[in-house]
Amino acid sequence: MNATATRPAPAGSYAPLQNDTFIRACLRQATEHTPVWLMRQAGRYLPEYRATRARAGSFMGLATNTDYATEVTLQPLERYPLDAAILFSDILTVPDAMGLGLSFALGEGPKFAHPVRDEAAVAQLAVPDMDKLRYVFDAVTSIRHALNGRVPLIGFSGSPWTLACYMVEGAGSDDYRLVKTMLYNRPDLMHRMLQINADSVAAYLNAQIEAGAQAVMIFDSWGGVLADGAFQQFSLAYTARVLAQLKRSHDGVTIPRIVFTKGGGLWLQQMAGLDCEVLGLDWTVNLAQARSLVGHSKALQGNIDPNVLFANPTQITEQVRQVLDSFGAPHTGAGQGPTHIFNLGHGISQHTPPDHVAALVEAVHSHSRSLR
Amino acid sequence: MNATATRPAPAGSYAPLQNDTFIRACLRQATEHTPVWLMRQAGRYLPEYRATRARAGSFMGLATNTDYATEVTLQPLERYPLDAAILFSDILTVPDAMGLGLSFALGEGPKFAHPVRDEAAVAQLAVPDMDKLRYVFDAVTSIRHALNGRVPLIGFSGSPWTLACYMVEGAGSDDYRLVKTMLYNRPDLMHRMLQINADSVAAYLNAQIEAGAQAVMIFDSWGGVLADGAFQQFSLAYTARVLAQLKRSHDGVTIPRIVFTKGGGLWLQQMAGLDCEVLGLDWTVNLAQARSLVGHSKALQGNIDPNVLFANPTQITEQVRQVLDSFGAPHTGAGQGPTHIFNLGHGISQHTPPDHVAALVEAVHSHSRSLR
């Protein structure tokens, strides 16, 4: 899409990982501090991101250009001693590759030119040719090389249900009326769409792993809008279908898999049964309770309210301590035990003052060291 | 505000209650069917409501006029055999009476001309003169007379925290950035505002009870956006402060108190300690689990997804059955036991087909009878 894109060096010959804190915590192994990264850490709150985006001309111009995607992925690492990088991309790349026609109007959210709202539209859906997503895999390889082993690179995808929300609504929604109408009125169509989405997401994440992603995360951003019962049938079951198809390792190294359902705190006991290494939690969840429910089988990731970053650094430090303390004493010995990966409970706000992020990262590292 | 308003007959001489199913269920007494009413049951999905609103000229023209408020409150009862009526009003009447200047722009949500964003604005807040809310109490008395004992009348208020969200944001919000900035940055100001809100809400609900409300409900619509820990400090504690001040009975009759926190499912165990008779639940909560957590001390109200009403009547009936069945066998004997009040998990959508509501109410009554 952008003429400035260059082909990255081939995957497979990467520098050794210098900071493996995040990967170790994913695998429930002891670390010297609690690793921290932030959902949407490469984003609009950073002036350098806004400058690159202005050069790229548009959000998709940024996401589809290997050089730009690499540049913005590394920007937060230049400012903060974060313990992981996450691919800069969008969760809607997969339905775009299905032919739904993604666009981002200025000042608005994403839009699809061809939403999927009836039987005929569902019948036309198929797992997309992964070549249409080559720009994503190229970005993964390029970023992995550029990281040069500093920290691991996380790949990601939207969950089958979350993709279906956008595919049916055609844009963001505040009531999910159209997608839920299909769910309740024609569950057969919804199941068909979710099967295709799950198989697409699995192929997409496996290709990211082959391209160099060292962990993968499934964002079930809209799982929490479902009713009890519907969540298990229409979201959890298809997340499980993705996980069942994912590569467990690549080049002899384990690839941890993270599942994050925003608003999914009530279903943690059922999510504990997922075949993944880490569960992401939003800020409504009590970490001590979550640890007692699922901490024996999974690492936990989260969960400070992103709005804490609007308070002053003293209050930020205090809130970070409360979140770390609520998880409790981290595992320190040999073998596996309960581990925590610090993160926000949702993506960082574009209005966040960048120096407040520095205060948060510093507080996580220093206070978590003092707990060991 | 409207010249057509008439003074209602004085409170205190009402017809006896013919259908007390809702009140009995609130008090955990056996009933022949599961009572049902719908949050926002008097509203835009009804053509007769839209006609009255057009005559009133504006939303506040409707809410502040006793005759109009009475008319629209009774409209859904003419169509459906609902087991309760709820006062037609808005949760923002209290901050409006505090002088914040409420308005409803066409096609937008509510707006305050004078949002409360700094120490000086908080310092000026006080419990409003209840005479400024006389139009609400007059409407309660008028509706109670017009109901003539058909079904009980529910009064309501926003919770202290939910009012604070609007008072600080000045309008609806999708991230609650301003109110949470105050909460995290200046918890002292937030606590002061919440104390004033709690005392105002208590006075407001007590005046509704004196005017004729036979049950009262506190809508904590935005409690679920708070982090674990913050919810307990900034929402639950002030709901408890309201409850502690409420009249337990009026004219020798018990006045049941309902608390509904949207998105509060994770905190049910703590909400079970509230001094109220009923907890309202949204659709993310499993009723069997909720019953085992709190069903021994409280009646439960809820919790079908309002989007179910967009499915066809056959599917609506099936979903209603699933919700009723998930609560389990209702209490049938003498004394107190677990009881369920059927409702949506949130307000009804303006896009709902009115005949689908008929199917829902019919399904609740017939299936719940068959369970006894």
CB contact under 8 A, B284 and A227: yes
pLDDT tier for residue A108 given thresholds of 50, 70 and 90? confident
Domain ranges in chain A? 21-370
- Burial (0-12, 13-18, 19+ Cβ within 10 Å), B355: exposed
Backbone angles phi, psi at B176, to 5 degrees: 55, 35
Tokens 């775009």, residue located:
A96
Distance from the B167 Cα atom to the nearest Cα atom in chain A, whole angstroms = 18
Q: Is B166 a catalytic residue?
A: yes
DSSP E strand stretches across B42-147: 85-86, 102-104, 110-112
- Could you read off the pLDDT of A227-247 as tens digits, one per residue? 999 999 999 999 999 999 999
Count the neighbouring beta carbons within 10 Å of the beta carbon of residue B371: 16
- Could you read off the pLDDT of B114-124 as tens digits, one per residue? 999 999 999 99
Q: What is the pLDDT of residue A3?
A: 40
Whether residue A258 lies within 8 A of chain B, CB to CB, comes out as no
Q: What is the pLDDT of residue B4?
A: 45
Among residues B241, B339, B332, B224, the alpha carbon closest in space to that of B283 is found at B224
Q: What is the pLDDT of residue A219?
A: 98
pLDDT tier for residue B1 given thresholds of 50, 70 and 90? very low
Q: Is A90 a catalytic residue?
A: yes
Of A185, A312, A349, the CB nearest to B175: A349
Distances from the Cα of A4 to the Cα of A7, A56, B14, angstroms: 10, 10, 79
CB contact under 8 A, B266 and A266: yes
The set of residues, in sequence order, having a beta carbon less than 8 Å from that of A152 and lying 6+ positions away, is A17, A19, A20, A22, A23, A84, A85, A214, A215
- Could you read off the pLDDT of B53-67 as tens digits, one per residue? 999 998 889 999 999
Mean pLDDT on A99-123: 92
Which residues in B lie closer than 8 A to residue A305 (C-beta atoms)?
A: 180, 184, 227, 230
Q: What is the pLDDT of residue B125?
A: 98
Residues B266, B285: Cα–Cα separation, whole Å: 9
- Tell me which of A177, A189, A284 to substitute to probe the interface with B (most B C-beta atoms closer than 10 Å): A284
Whether residue A265 lies within 8 A of chain B, CB to CB, comes out as yes
pLDDT tier for residue B6 given thresholds of 50, 70 and 90? low
- For B70, the token pair is 């009475």
Q: What is the pLDDT of residue A123?
A: 98
SS3 content of chain A, % helix, strand, coil (to 5): 50, 15, 40
pLDDT tier for residue B12 given thresholds of 50, 70 and 90? low
* Cβ(B179)–Cβ(A310) below 8 Å: no
Residues A171, A13: Cα–Cα separation, whole Å: 40
- Burial (0-12, 13-18, 19+ Cβ within 10 Å), A254: middle
> b/e for B153-164, b at 16 or more Cβ within 10 A?
bbbbbbbbbbbb
CB contact under 8 A, A184 and B315: yes
Count the neighbouring beta carbons within 10 Å of the beta carbon of residue B16: 7
* Cβ(A260)–Cβ(A217) below 8 Å: yes
Distance from the B326 Cα atom to the nearest Cα atom in chain A, whole angstroms = 10
CB contact under 8 A, A266 and B263: no
Mean pLDDT on A285-301: 94
pLDDT tier for residue A10 given thresholds of 50, 70 and 90? low
Residues B368, B34: Cα–Cα separation, whole Å: 6
DSSP E strand stretches across chain B: 85-86, 102-104, 110-112, 153-158, 215-220, 249-250, 253-254, 257-261, 278-280, 299-304, 340-344
Q: What is the pLDDT of residue B11?
A: 54
Mean pLDDT on B322-340: 94
- Could you read off the pLDDT of B232-265 as tens digits, one per residue? 999 999 999 999 999 999 999 999 999 999 999 9
> b/e for B217-227, b at 16 or more Cβ within 10 A?
bbbbbbbbbbb
Share of residues in chain B with pLDDT > 90 (%): 91
Share of residues in chain A with pLDDT > 70 (%): 97
Whether residue B288 lies within 8 A of chain A, CB to CB, comes out as no
Q: Is A117 a catalytic residue?
A: no
Which residues in A lie closer than 8 A to residue B322 (C-beta atoms)?
A: 229
> Does the structure show a pLDDT above 60 at A349?
yes
Q: What is the pLDDT of residue B109?
A: 85
* Cβ(A300)–Cβ(A319) below 8 Å: no
CB contact under 8 A, B185 and A308: no
How far is the first Cα of chain A from the last one, in angstroms, to the nearest whole number?
49
CB contact under 8 A, A184 and B319: yes
Q: How many CB pairs under 8 A join A and B?
A: 98
The set of residues, in sequence order, having a beta carbon less than 8 Å from that of B7 and lying 6+ positions away, is B66, B138
Q: What is the pLDDT of residue A8?
A: 56
* Cβ(B46)–Cβ(B75) below 8 Å: yes
Q: What is the pLDDT of residue A330?
A: 85
Of A180, A285, A308, the CB nearest to B305: A180
- For B268, the token pair is 């049910």
Which residues in B lie closer than 8 A to residue A227 (C-beta atoms)?
A: 283-284, 304-305, 345
Residues A177, A185: Cα–Cα separation, whole Å: 11
Whether residue A332 lies within 8 A of chain B, CB to CB, comes out as no
Cα radius of gyration (chain B): 20
Q: Domain A21-370 is of which CATH architecture?
A: Alpha-Beta Barrel (3.20)
- Could you read off the pLDDT of B189-220 as tens digits, one per residue? 999 999 999 999 999 999 999 999 999 999 99
User: For residue B303, what is the nearest residue in chain A, using CA coordinates?
Assistant: A227
pLDDT tier for residue A87 given thresholds of 50, 70 and 90? very high
Q: What is the pLDDT of residue A4?
A: 44
- Could you read off the pLDDT of A202-212 as tens digits, one per residue? 999 999 999 99
Whether residue A360 lies within 8 A of chain B, CB to CB, comes out as no
Residues B80, B116: Cα–Cα separation, whole Å: 41
Could you give the angle at which helices A237-245 and A160-169 cross, rounded to 10 degrees? 120
- Could you read off the pLDDT of B73-102 as tens digits, one per residue? 999 999 999 999 999 999 999 999 999 999
Q: What is the pLDDT of residue A45?
A: 98
The three-state secondary structure class of A35 is coil
DSSP string of A239-275, one letter each residue? HHHHHHHS-SEETTEE--EEEEETT-GGGHHHHTTSS
> Does the structure show a pLDDT above 90 at A280?
yes
What are the helix (H) ranges across chain A? 21-26, 47-56, 59-63, 66-79, 93-95, 119-123, 134-147, 160-169, 177-185, 187-211, 230-231, 237-245, 268-271, 287-294, 313-327, 354-370
pLDDT tier for residue B351 given thresholds of 50, 70 and 90? very high
Residues B324, A313: Cα–Cα separation, whole Å: 49
Active-site entry in B24, B28, B53, B257: B53
Q: What is the pLDDT of residue A11?
A: 55
Residues A102, A108: Cα–Cα separation, whole Å: 13
Which residues in A lie closer than 8 A to residue B317 (C-beta atoms)?
A: none
Cα radius of gyration (chain A): 20
HSE, side-chain direction, 13 A CA sphere, residue B324: 26
Q: Beta strand B110-112 with A253-254: parallel, antiparallel or unpaired?
A: unpaired
The three-state secondary structure class of A342 is strand
Residues B264, B258: Cα–Cα separation, whole Å: 14
CB contact under 8 A, A307 and B175: yes
Helices and strands, counts by H and E, chain B: 16, 11
Among residues B93, B89, B87, the alpha carbon closest in space to that of B162 is found at B93
Give this prediction's pTM: 0.95
DSSP code of B156? E
> Does the structure show a pLDDT above 90 at A295?
no
Across all residues in chain B, what is the average pLDDT? 95
* Cβ(A207)–Cβ(A213) below 8 Å: no
Whether residue B318 lies within 8 A of chain A, CB to CB, comes out as no
Of A185, A228, A285, the CB nearest to B228: A285
CB contact under 8 A, A307 and B266: no
- Which region among A42-51, A109-118, B6-15, B153-162 has the lowest average model confidence (pLDDT)? B6-15
Active-site entry in A24, A40, A144, A150: A40
CB contact under 8 A, B322 and A265: no
CB contact under 8 A, A185 and B311: yes
| ipTM of this complex | 0.94
Q: What is the pLDDT of residue B2?
A: 42
Of B180, B266, B285, the CB nearest to A307: B180
Residues A94, B82: Cα–Cα separation, whole Å: 46
- For A273, the token pair is 């049964």
> Does the structure show a pLDDT above 50 at A371?
yes
The three-state secondary structure class of B249 is strand
Q: What is the pLDDT of residue B138?
A: 98
